[in-house]
């Protein structure tokens, strides 16, 4: 697996798993298993990759109906995603899980970090992103 400062190979999945995109998040983004990541962590990784690849429809479809925005995300031109660090994945209930993550990006010459504990729910045979708490620091 690449160190955080090393560039990813062209075919590497943006989620940082170390696998090729075609064998990783791509399978959730398209095909017969579309939107059906098997764990909350896999869904979170695929959502990060969807931000990198600007797949707004995927993000919209994997957002829980109770918190889903009315329209798909609009992507800010010039944002460069730099990496994802999954800090923790835990089952929090019979149909619930949390994933703590740090997503790094660069925009307008400035580095940004999103440190969040994201909540997920298992409903109708698949995981959905519900919401998250942004944490201070990184």
Query: What number is the average pLDDT over the span 43-69?
Result: 95
Give the dihedral sign, CA 86/92/94/95: negative
Domain carrying residue 73? 21-134
Q: What is the domain-level CATH number for residue 125?
A: 3.10.450.50
| pLDDT for res 31 | 58
Residue 47 lies in a domain: yes
The count of residues in the chain is 138
Residue 63 lies in a domain: yes
Domain count of the fold of the chain: 1
Q: Is the pLDDT of residue 7 over 50?
A: no
Q: Which long-range contacts (CB under 8 A, 24 or more apart) does 63-71 make?
A: 63/128, 63/129, 64/121, 64/123, 64/128, 64/129, 64/130, 65/128, 66/130, 67/130, 67/131
Residue 7 lies in a domain: no
Q: Is the pLDDT of residue 4 over 50?
A: no
The whole model's pTM is what? Answer: 0.88
Q: Is the pLDDT of residue 2 over 80?
A: no
Q: Is the pLDDT of residue 112 over 70?
A: yes
Residue 26 lies in a domain: yes
Residues above pLDDT 70, as percent of the chain: 88
Residue 71 lies in a domain: yes
Q: Is the pLDDT of residue 34 over 70?
A: no
Residue 114 lies in a domain: yes
Residue 60 lies in a domain: yes
Residue 12 lies in a domain: no
Q: What is the spatial distance between Cα 98 and Cα 46, in angstroms, rounded to a whole number?
A: 15
């Amino acid at each position: 697996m690449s160190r955080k400062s090393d560039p990813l190979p062209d075919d590497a999945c943006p989620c940082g798993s170390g696998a090729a995109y075609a064998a990783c998040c791509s399978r959730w983004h398209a095909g017969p298993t579309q939107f059906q990541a098997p764990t909350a962590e896999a869904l979170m990784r695929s959502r990060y990759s969807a931000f990198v690849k600007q797949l707004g429809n995927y993000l919209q479809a994997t957002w829980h109906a109770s918190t889903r925005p009315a329209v798909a995300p609009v992507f800010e031109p010039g944002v460069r995603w730099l990496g994802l660090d999954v800090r923790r994945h835990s089952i929090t209930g019979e149909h619930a899980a949390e994933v703590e993550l740090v997503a790094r990006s660069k925009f307008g010459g400035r580095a940004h970090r999103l440190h969040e504990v994201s909540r997920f729910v298992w409903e109708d045979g698949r995981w959905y992103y519900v919401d998250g708490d942004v944490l201070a620091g990184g």
